[in-house]
């Protein structure tokens, strides 16, 4: 989980956690690893996916557009990196990263009026297994 935009990523994590528990996952089988930001998610995911005891990785983060093209570079690199880890390891590596135009859009997708994309990422991970 990315620590940047922590209020949002924590809400995504809680959504994922709750969904995994509701689907029957054991608390002891759920691991959490934090990375500084979304750009670092692919390396964190790779380190986890390479472990034999790990069945799937759910990458949670939030990138909010600013006034520069930095947003575009981070989003592209993050999505590509996460995809590469899944293809390389053959394990489900789920893209649970919000890429929004503003903070309100992120809040709406992290437990707000549009649901919780962390929950959706957990459901996707289980479906891929």
Q: Catalytic site residues?
A: 70
How many CB atoms neighbour CB 114 within 10 A?
Answer: 11
Is 124 within 8 Å of 89 (Cβ atoms)? Answer: no
Rg of the chain over Cα atoms, rounded to whole angstroms, equals: 14
| Distant-in-sequence, close-in-space partners of 67: CB < 8 Å, separation ≥ 6 | none
Which whole-number Å values give the CA distances from 55 to 4, 45, 92, in the listed order?
Answer: 26, 12, 7
Alpha-carbon 114 to chain mean position: 17
Residue whose C-alpha is closest to residue 61's, from 107, 10, 24, 17: 10
């Amino acid at each position: 989980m990315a620590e940047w935009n922590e209020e949002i990523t924590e809400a995504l994590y809680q959504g994922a956690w709750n969904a995994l528990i509701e689907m029957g996952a054991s608390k002891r089988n759920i691991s959490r690893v934090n990375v500084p930001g979304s750009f670092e998610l692919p390396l964190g995911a790779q380190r986890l996916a390479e472990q034999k005891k790990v069945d799937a990785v759910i990458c949670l983060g939030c990138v909010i557009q600013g006034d520069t093209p930095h947003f575009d570079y981070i989003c592209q690199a993050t999505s590509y990196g996460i995809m590469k880890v899944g293809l390389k390891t053959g394990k489900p590596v789920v893209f649970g990263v919000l890429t929004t135009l503003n903070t309100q859009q992120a809040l709406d997708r992290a437990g707000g009026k549009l649901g919780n994309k962390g929950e959706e990422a957990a459901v996707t991970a289980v479906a891929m297994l």
